[in-house]
Amino acid sequence: MADDPNAGFPKPIWPPIQDVESVDLTGKRSDGGVDLLIVTSQPLDDVADTLNRIRCKIAYYLDVIDLPDFQADMEFPPRDRTTIILCCDYPIHPRALAVIAECQARAGQRGVQLVVQQKPAGPGAAAAS
């Protein structure tokens, strides 16, 4: 269908976000902060399952940050130095970006930063921040 806005968007073969009730990777920073990484393995499309997985995974991370054991293990990182990084080296559909923006607002309300990290588009592309 010529009017299909998703016609050229790559579809994932399997769910791009796995294990929504587990933390993929954490790291303590030298400034006393902590990074929590969400790893994606496919493009983030706009199907309901993908959008729901984004919401659930980020909500789970926000809950984990509040756990006493997590806080103790990470040496009680300040909220303003706690970052959830959604790492996606694949295309992200505009609807998925909108869901991520909603989650960024929720994270911000809890004093946590949520950022998206993507691989540069190709040779000569600027480095990701």
Q: What is the pLDDT of residues 92-118, one digit of tens each?
A: 999 999 999 999 999 999 999 999 999
Q: What's the predicted TM-score (pTM) here?
A: 0.86
Distance, CA of 16 to CA of 24 (rounded, Å): 13
Comparing CA positions, the residue from 30, 29, 52, 38 lying closest to residue 102 is 52
- Locate tokens 């990701």: which residue? 128
CA 39/CA 57 separation, integer angstroms: 10
Residue 46 CA from chain centroid, whole number:
15
Task: Please give the single-letter amino acid code of residue 27.
Answer: G
CATH code 3.30.1390 for 25-117: no
Tens of pLDDT, residue by residue over 32-86, are 999 999 999 999 999 999 999 999 999 999 999 999 999 999 999 999 999 999 9
In the chain, domain spans = 25-117
Q: How confident is the model at residue 1 (pLDDT cuts 50, 70, 90)?
A: very low
With beta carbons less than 8 A apart as the criterion, state whether 43 and 97 touch: no
